[in-house]
Chains A and B, each alone.
Chain A
Amino acid sequence: MEQRLRDLPLRIDAIVERVEDATVPDPIADRLRDLGFVSGEPVRLVARGPLGGDPLVVQIGYTRFALRRAEAARVFVRMAA
């Protein structure tokens, strides 16, 4: 089932489906794709911020990024089987 990366439970393996543009053009979505958020890439949520669960720490490929929830909302993922 496809869902937003923002809503993924912590430390659950998932696979990136796509990154959706929130605006036209969307430089933030472009940068996310540059950083490796592309279809088929393994991803997981590592931590949520202490206040309101924002920002998120995301493991993509071999790298960890802190993303705000609005940024992570652009990424659609599917939980790994």
Chain B
Amino acid sequence: MSALAMQVALVGNPNCGKTALFNRLTGSRQKVANYAGVTVERKAGVVRTPSGRSVQLLDLPGAYSLAATSPDEAITRDICLGQMAGEARPDLLVCVADATNLRLHLRFVLEVRALGLPMVLALNMCDAAAKRGIVIDRASLERELGVPVVETIAVRADGAAALLRQIDGPLPPLPAAAAPADLHAEVRRLLALAVTVPRRTGEVDDALDRWALHPVFGLALLAVVMFLIFQAVFSWSAPLQDGIDAGVTALADYLKSVLPDNTLRSLLVDGMLVGTGSVVVFLPQILLLFLFILVLEESGYLPRAAFLLDRLMVGAGLTGRSFIPLLSSFACAVPGIMAARTIQDPRDRLATILVAPLMTCSARLPVYALLIGAFIPEQTIAGIFNLQGLVLFALYVAGIVSALLVAYAMKLIRRDSIEHALLLELPSYRVPHVTDVMIGLWERASVFLKRVGGIILTLTVLLWFLSTYPTAPVDFAGPAIDYSYAGRIGKALEAVFAPIGFNWQICIALIPGLAAREVAVSSLATVYAVSATGDAAAGQLLPLIAAQWSLATALSLIVWYVFAPQCVSTLAVIRRETRSWKIVGIATFYLFALAYGASFLTFRIVSALT
């Protein structure tokens, strides 16, 4: 340990509070990345010990056993064994066990002890254990295990002090390496010797689960929770989004007023600023949705939701675990597809990734809002329902139903009869801790912005180029965009899209819509030579298209957007997460085929009826 900082790794079962302990020890000095070659998150940070030493701390993925059954568990095993390329074998293992769940967690502790590395056992959540009347004889546990045992309370400021002192001191001697023949028998012996448990389950858990898992009340509760989330995400974020939109517009106007009118200004303002601004506008929605998901995750409710929906999802060729990624996809498919990492089964994970783009992401809302506003009359149905609202709701339902149908079709095509396990732990309910939620929110937001920001920025610059060059000669009649590459591509595309009722203006708007779907609205505005951006554009555009498009064309475009394959960020993240161009090809092709087929039918049927 001369020049290099000491390497310490946190290992433990899932739900042992390991990440909360990691946050407590490292605070903001942590870095999230991926392990080389796999999409398993690598969390590392620096700990300052009381004596002022710096220690490298690695948070290993939770594992039930070193006999790994998932990529996460394989990473944990490989690092503990020193077989992971590019990772040093840790100098010290801190094995974390939930003091309220020792029957399960001690078995893994015994497995880890047999690895032959210096190790400390951290009994986490000692406060919760004490509250439930669980008494642990720390000294005799330490004696019987032959490793130092410290008590920790990850959610309390000084809760890791004893652990820090232990890390700061000399390395503990290697534990006696021999693993007992029967780990379960040894766990029972240790429990009988050192632990007193008044009752096996938490009374709070029992009471809450009686409602949360109930076949009727449980589903009703889930529906209420979902409704509240959607309500909050779409109504609370509106003022923030308007604020960001106004800020971007103001900045663009300011830059336009101070910069000379040349190509550079156009690139900076029309290309980069407005392009990235159109994505940042969705950040409040995405953050709010993440906030709800994190709080639900921390509280222990999400696995319960997965339990309630598992049967339905399995029927459609997915798994209960698909629920969280698909829920995230309502904000944006990019974080949704990333969240599919929590699904260990490769087949279930792939199916989830492939249908995630069918969830109605928030980028489609501006397009829906424009088209519904222009073509669906504002009238009341059955006395209480607003027709426009009903159409919007129907579009969301259409997305969900088509996702289930596509997953079901994939299940029929695959026809594999291998059993895929659920084996999902329902952890104890916990009150979410503010710091942990905030750190989680920050991590997800920064990962999202980094990934999307790069792609969007590159593409908007490219699309700006396509729609600006070649510049129209002065005597050119009509909008300048007609003369540009984008205009020419749009005209060429019209041949492809005429059968589904799209005119060349729509075809042009679809091109910048590749970078971000909602850009299609401002592009339409540009094509129709409306000189405004954002909301104002929609305001002027609405009567224009209402007068010029047929109802069949409008409905066809709405249906197109239900499937809308043209989101480059989504395709890029599918490539990243699956490491396969073939999957990207399949996703693009099937979404395009669905969109084209459905729009074709819509256009033909509505044309025939009107």
Q: Which residues of A contact B (CB under 8 A)?
A: 22, 27-28, 30-32, 34-36, 38, 41-42, 46-52, 54-55, 57, 59, 61-68, 70-71
Contact = CB atoms under 8 A, between A and B. Distances in A.
27 contacts: A31-B65, A31-B69, A31-B421, A31-B423, A34-B107, A36-B103, A36-B104, A36-B107, A38-B184, A47-B218, A48-B215, A49-B215, A49-B307, A50-B215, A50-B311, A54-B310, A55-B311, A57-B209, A57-B426, A59-B201, A63-B425, A64-B205, A64-B425, A66-B307, A66-B422, A68-B314, A68-B421
Given A38-B184, A51-B312, 7 more contacts: A22-B419, A32-B423, A34-B65, A47-B214, A62-B103, A63-B104, A66-B422
B30 interface: no
Contacts of B425: 63-66
A41 B191 CA distance: 13
A34 B422 contact: no
A32 B424 CA distance: 11
A59 B320 contact: no
B310 A71 contact: no
Contact of B101 (A28, A54, A57, A62): A62
A62 B421 contact: no
Given A59-B201, A68-B310, A46 B421 contact: no
A35 B187 CA distance: 12
B104 A52 contact: no
Given A47-B209, A64-B426, A66-B422, A31 B104 contact: no
Given A36-B103, A55-B320, A57-B307, A65 B426 contact: yes
A6 to B, nearest CB: 13
B356 to A, nearest CB: 22
B207 to A, nearest CB: 12
Given A54-B311, A57-B209, A63 B101 contact: yes
Interface residues of B, number: 40
B218 A50 contact: yes
A62 B310 contact: no
Contacts of A41: 184
A70 B67 CA distance: 22
Interface in B382-434: 419, 421-427
A17 to B, nearest CB: 14
Interface in B343-360: none
B303 interface: yes
B303 A66 contact: yes
Contact of A66 (B184, B219, B310): B310
A40 B549 CA distance: 73
B308 interface: yes
Contacts of A22: 419
B216 A50 contact: yes
Contacts of B201: 59, 62, 64
